[in-house]
Amino acid sequence: MRTTLNVTSSPGKRDNVAYVFLLPWLIGFVTLTLGPVLASFYFSLTNYDLLSAPRFIGVANFTNIFSDPYFWTSLKVTLTYVAISVPLRLIVALLVAALVNKPIRGMSIYRALIYLPSLLGGSVGTAIGWQALFSQNGPIDQALGLVGIRGPIWLGNPNTALLVIILMTVWQFGSEMVVFMAGMKQIPVHLYEASVIDGAGLWTRFTKITLPILTPIIFFNLVMGTINSFMVFTQVYVITDGGPLNATLVYVLYLYEQGFQYFHMGYAAALAVLLFILIAIFTGVFFLTSRWWVKYDLY
């Protein structure tokens, strides 16, 4: 039985038709993806401000980057952000998914409400709301005041500003939660029933049945979540603009400033190359270590 389309018997003719369908993607891939990736490497070795031709300067951009305190700050801020927000978000998503994953009335309403931040969270409008929430004497401070706690100046204090951004990210755990819930639904009920007969409690069932089976999904969310959080930009641009005192200067914000406010295109390209390498390293490490904890085909 033929499994793919066979227009005529000659491979040349088949190819031609396929390539017609592929033409837009091929054009896009070469000119907007592959080309630019290679070009970024090229531009990272130049000095280019868009006004005059690019000037080749070798690795000068990179040596400058490594002695640039703002680079190190942005790296530290971004790594802190990733290291805290990604695991936190996954854990909350897992726990709430386990909580919600029972056939109780109104479940779809709860799920929709918990998913709402994920939906709206990428919007500037929501970031504005978040900023207002944490402003001095804003609702959060007022609520804390009710229980007698004096809130810090969240967005003015370098120690708490990044926390506000992290909280906004964790608040959007709904999208991971939905994926986990779909995964949990596929776990055969008889596994749980058998374990209950053997005397397994709630926590044991969660850690010995649910978690191992979910590891592939956890892995997927971990990788995609990490890649995405390295690129955090909108919330920071809107809420703190990198401040106070660069406490929230995330990497992509610094790259944006260098490339599109100062038009140091070569320098920004070098920053992009380093980001690309950094993400590739993290992704590689995740994939390599996955064999130790990700289990497929458990049942």
Partner 1 sequence: MKFHRTLVRHVVLIIVSFLMVYPVLWMFFASFKPEDQIFANPNLLPAHWTVSHYTESISGKAGINFGPMFLHSLEIALLVVVGSIFSGSITGFAFARMEFTARKFLFGFMLGTMMLPAQIVIIPQYIIFHRLSLVNTFVPLILPSFLGTGSFFIYLMVQFIRGIPKDLDEAASIDGCGPFRLFLHVIFPLTFPAIITISIFAFYWTWNDLFSQAIYLTNPNLFTVPIGLSSFLDNMGNSMWGDLFAMSIISLIPVLVVFVIFQRYLVEGIATQGLK
Kindly identify the residues of this chain, within the stretch 164-183, that bind partner 1 according to CB under 8 A.
Answer: 171, 174-175, 178-179, 181-183
Beta bridge partners, 55, equal: 47
**Distance of closest approach, residue 92 Cβ to partner 1, in angstroms:** 10
Which helix (H) or strand (E) is 79 found in, with range? helix 69-100
Rounded to the nearest whole angstrom, what is the least distance from the CB of residue 191 to partner 1 in the complex? 18
**Using CB under 8 A, which residues numbered 12 to 71 contact partner 1?**
14-15, 17-19, 21-22, 24-25, 27-29, 31-37, 39-40, 43, 48, 50
Are 57 and 46 contacting, i.e. CB atoms less than 8 angstroms apart?
yes
Nearer to partner 1 by C-beta: 94 or 114?
114
Helix (H, G, I), strand (E, B) or coil at 55: strand
Binding test (CB under 8 A) with partner 1, winner from 59, 83, 91, 124: 124
Binding residue (CB under 8 A) for partner 1 from 55, 139, 188, 245: 139
In the set 68, 79, 238, 295, which binds partner 1 (CB under 8 A)?
Answer: 238
SS3 271: helix
Secondary structure (3-state) at 46: strand
First to last CA, the chain: 31
Q: Does residue 135 belong to the site contacting partner 1 (CB under 8 A)?
A: yes
Cβ-based nearer residue to partner 1, 7 or 194: 7
> Which of 57, 60, 84, 120 lies at the binding interface for partner 1 (CB under 8 A)?
120
Instruction: Choose, by CB under 8 A, the member of 77, 93, 100, 250 that binds partner 1.
Output: 100
7 makes contact with partner 1 (CB under 8 A): yes
Q: Which amino acid is at 111?
A: R
Does 75 interact with partner 1 (rule: CB under 8 A)? Answer: no
Distance (Å, whole) CA 176 – CA 89? 8
Collapsing DSSP to helix, strand or coil, 200 comes out as coil
Q: Which two tokens stand for residue 70?
A: 């703002």
CA distance 32 to 40: 12
| Closest distance to partner 1 from the beta carbon of 207 (Å) | 19
Q: Is 256 in the site for partner 1 (CB under 8 A)?
A: yes
Give how far the C-alpha of residue 167 lies from the chain's centroid of Cα atoms, to the nearest Å.
Answer: 14
